[in-house]
Amino acid sequence: MRNVVALLLLASATLIAADDPAGIAFFEQKIRPVLVEHCYECHSTKAKKLKGGLYLDSKAGWLKGGDAGHPTIVPGKPDEGLFLRYVRHLEPDMEMPPKKPKLPDAVLADLTAWIKMGAPDPRTESTGEAKRADKSWWSLQPLAKEFKHAEIDGFIDAKLAEQKIARNAPAKPQALIRRLSYDLTGLPPSQAEVDAFVAGHQANARQATEALVDRLLASPRYGERWGRHWLDVVRFGESNGFERNFVIDDLYPFRDYVIRSLNDDKPFDQLIREHLAGDVIGKFKPEVEVGSAFLVAGPYDDVGNQDANAQKVIRAATLDDMVTATGSAFLGLTINCAKCHHHKFDPIPTKTTTGFGRPSKASSMDADRSRPRSRPRPTMPPWAR
């Protein structure tokens, strides 16, 4: 028990030393400049090529260690970590900095003293998070304020006032009906519709405009116009791509489902659920089941490669494309970048790694990253054929 208490006291003393302002000052004055000058070129997030999977530009980096996964520096124990052995040139072929003279004895003494005092390091950021955009990135923040429809104009006016910009004059009725018609249906209004709207606008501008918007939103052309945009977002295609690029003649029900969902004013969260699991939540309901065709609405490599490894790569790429399409469509994130490295613009680390930024040898994605994305050919149920 006395030994346990002694160890706890020693650990507490080390932590106190690590957090001590004098220790932080020592790090800033003696240690950080050395790391920046001699180590960051190969061991930081800004390194052109990270060496050994080791980051020395954060405390989390040296605690995690490199590819071996052991701490490079052991606080309070300078002889246990590999860091000092490397910089002292005690490890053959692992002298650091590489191809340069050994650091001066005074610098080595400072490094040793720093580790003995508990290796105080105020750099609390994680090397697993991109420095250009971590969880503080603007697109990942909740809305600072919820705006009602009537408040949106005031929000816009406030921003215009900050920039000393005035609003444009209200559109004349002839221009207004053309803009609304093109925006909501993609089609121009007829001359009769223009004349009727101008007359109604002169009598009661608000009432005529609201009636026009309601009529355009109720038009079947509305779903066709905006359904095209959504089909682009979910990478819908009616041919499989690749060398053969045959036409998929039984995927049109998904296209019609998207158009119908918009025209029916289906809630967006419901649309997402049906896209991802329509065959589960809408079992035996064809109008809901068809939503899950989203998963197989992209290209598919059906050339028929007989090589076992190539088939595994094709299968992996198929699943990768489903995940990629889901992330980009519903999260607005190109999460497939994290397949090979930590995401540069969002806090998405790669999980299948042996070390930071180093893909696992067991990853089937390593076999051939040059192949296009692929997926199985869509098979529609009999009722949709």
In the numeric block, the tokens 């053309």 are attached to: 178
Share above pLDDT 90 across residues of the chain, in percent, rounded to a whole number:
39
Task: Identify which has the larger pLDDT, 205 or 9.
Answer: 205
Q: What are the residues facing 359 on neighbouring strands?
A: 353
* pLDDT (tens digit per residue) in 346-373: 667 776 433 333 343 333 333 333 333 3
* pLDDT (tens digit per residue) in 209-255: 999 999 999 999 999 999 999 999 999 988 887 788 888 888 999 99
Q: What are the residues facing 239 on neighbouring strands?
A: 247
pLDDT band at 164 (very low <50, low <70, confident <90, very high): very high
- Average per-residue pLDDT in the chain? 81
In the numeric block, the tokens 């052995």 are attached to: 85
* pLDDT (tens digit per residue) in 94-149: 888 888 888 999 999 999 999 999 999 888 765 544 344 555 666 677 776 676 66
Q: What is the rounded distance in angstroms from the CA atom of residue 175 to the CA atom of residue 183? A: 12
Q: Indicate the pairing of strand 358-359 with strand 353-355.
A: antiparallel
> Is this model's pTM higher than 0.85 or not?
no
